[in-house]
């Protein structure tokens, strides 16, 4: 038996494999819009382990498996005690006897790494505190749809150097996307992630000045300032980001700048309602592309 392919971090793929997954996602999306369902995962089951709740992750993975002819089993925090009632390695080995693929949306990145180490089926990272590679797949798919390639657009991340930002930094380096990251200095991208990006391609420019960073940007991308599990930091983070001018509003954007957000959005905090509801928002394309990108990934992993 060959070792399964896993997707714990975006750079578990090579650059060539990343382009392959995105192209497959585009193909499946076009087929679906023509009403052509392809049961490429007929009879297969995806086990979904959730410590963190999510609307888009659960619905996109379940719908994707259904469209591909398979099934999805939801295992929420009340159904499974990952690393508490049972060691992670035991959960990995037991679930591998029941399902064909595993997806985990958890807090500790090490838990997904351990699942992948001991599982005998492919493991997908649906989000951890350190990384959100499935979101990066959807983001890159959205950017390529809008511009036709990755050489044309200039993309600027504005806000917290969180898990979404860190995966985007790696994915951008892999496809040679021009990326600038603007964060407060105390909430910047981890140095180890920047070092990995430099090994993969061109690392992003980094700055603490969001206004200077967004001049001439084709896309400005933001996310919530306070992630799940950071509620005790909420007041301090809101004050810091507001004081630093990191809110994405009309004044921060050029006349042709498009806007991305991975959702859920805290309107009035990191982004205004006006921008979210404007024609410049690519937010809903991103949300839809979680479905298509993950279908491309699942069929590649199989």
Q: Would you give per-residue pLDDT tens digits along the chain (302 residues)?
A: 578 999 999 999 999 999 999 999 999 999 988 887 789 999 999 999 999 889 999 999 999 999 999 999 999 988 887 767 789 999 999 999 999 999 999 999 999 999 999 999 999 999 999 999 999 999 999 999 999 999 999 999 999 999 999 999 999 999 999 999 999 999 999 999 999 999 999 999 999 999 999 999 999 999 999 887 778 889 999 999 999 999 999 999 999 999 999 999 999 999 999 999 999 999 999 999 999 999 999 999 98
pLDDT at residue 80 in the model: 84
Upstream peptide bond of 191 is cis (omega within 30 degrees of 0): no
pLDDT at residue 1 in the model: 53
State the helix-helix crossing angle for 133-147 and 15-33, rounded to 10 degrees. 70
Q: Is 166 a catalytic residue?
A: no
Beta-strand pair 123-127/71-75: unpaired
Q: Give which of 95, 63, 7, 81 is closest to 302, Cα–Cα.
A: 7
**CATH number of the domain at 6-130+291-301, please?**
3.40.50.1370
Q: Is 290 a catalytic residue?
A: yes
CB 95 within 8 A of CB 124: no
Catalytic residue (choose from 24, 105, 247, 258): 105
pLDDT at residue 84 in the model: 74
Catalytic residue (choose from 262, 280, 286, 292): 262
pLDDT at residue 228 in the model: 76
Per-residue 3-state assignment (H helix, E strand, C coil) for 51-72: CCCCHHHHHHHHHHHHHCCCEE
Look up residue 200 and give its two tokens.
């993969």
Q: Where are the domains of the chain?
A: 6-130+291-301, 133-287
In CATH terms, are 6-130+291-301 and 133-287 the same topology? yes
C-alpha to C-alpha distances, 23 to 17, 84, 141, 220, nearest whole angstrom: 10, 39, 9, 24
Q: Is 79 a catalytic residue?
A: no
Classify domain 133-287 at the CATH class level.
alpha beta
Indicate the annotated binding residues. Answer: 54-57, 105, 132-135, 163, 223, 227-228, 262-263, 290
State the helix-helix crossing angle for 283-301 and 55-67, rounded to 10 degrees. 50
C-alpha to C-alpha distances, 185 to 25, 194, 227, 280, nearest whole angstrom: 36, 14, 18, 28
Catalytic residue (choose from 6, 132, 258, 261): 132
pLDDT at residue 83 in the model: 66
Strand segments (E) across 215-300: 219-222, 258-261
Look up residue 187 and give its two tokens.
């909430």
CB 9 within 8 A of CB 134: no
Q: Is 262 a catalytic residue?
A: yes
End-to-end CA distance of the chain: 14
- Cα separation, 227 vs 231, whole angstroms: 7
Q: Give which of 131, 141, 135, 136 is closest to 111, Cα–Cα.
A: 131
- Cα separation, 260 vs 142, whole angstroms: 9
- Cα separation, 55 vs 83, whole angstroms: 24
Indicate the annotated binding residues for L-ornithine. Answer: 163, 223, 227-228
* pTM for this model (two decimals): 0.97
Q: Is 294 a catalytic residue?
A: no
- Cα separation, 160 vs 270, whole angstroms: 10
Q: Is 132 a catalytic residue?
A: yes
Catalytic residue (choose from 24, 144, 280, 290): 290
């Amino acid at each position: 038996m060959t070792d399964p392919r896993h997707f714990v971090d975006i750079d578990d793929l090579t650059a060539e494999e990343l382009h392959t997954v995105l192209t497959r996602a585009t193909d499946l999306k076009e087929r679906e819009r023509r009403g052509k369902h392809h049961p490429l995962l007929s009879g297969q089951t995806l086990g979904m382990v959730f410590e963190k709740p999510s609307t888009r992750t659960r619905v996109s993975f379940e719908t994707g498996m259904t469209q591909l002819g398979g099934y999805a089993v939801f295992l929420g925090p009340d159904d499974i005690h990952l690393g508490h009632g049972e060691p992670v390695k035991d959960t990995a080995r037991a679930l591998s006897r029941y399902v064909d693929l595993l997806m985990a949306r958890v807090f500790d990145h090490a838990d997904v790494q351990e699942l992948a180490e001991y599982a005998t089926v492919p493991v997908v990272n649906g989000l951890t505190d350190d990384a959100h590679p499935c979101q990066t797949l959807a983001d890159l798919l959205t950017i390529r749809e809008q511009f036709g390639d990755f050489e044309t657009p200039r993309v600027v991340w504005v806000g917290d150097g969180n898990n979404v930002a860190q995966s985007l930094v790696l994915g951008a380096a892999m496809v040679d996307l021009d990326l600038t990251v603007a964060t407060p200095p105390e909430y910047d991208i981890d140095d180890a992630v920047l070092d990995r990006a430099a090994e993969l391609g061109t690392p992003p420019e980094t700055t603490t000045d969001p206004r200077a960073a967004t001049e001439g940007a084709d896309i400005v991308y933001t996310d919530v300032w306070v992630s799940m599990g950071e509620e005790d930091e909420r007041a301090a983070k809101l004050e810091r980001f507001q004081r630093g001018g990191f809110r994405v509003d009309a004044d921060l954007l050029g006349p042709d700048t498009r806007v991305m957000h991975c959702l859920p959005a805290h309107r009035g905090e990191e982004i205004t309602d006006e921008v979210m509801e404007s024609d410049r928002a690519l937010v809903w394309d991103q949300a839809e592309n979680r479905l298509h990108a993950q279908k491309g990934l699942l069929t590649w992993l199989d």
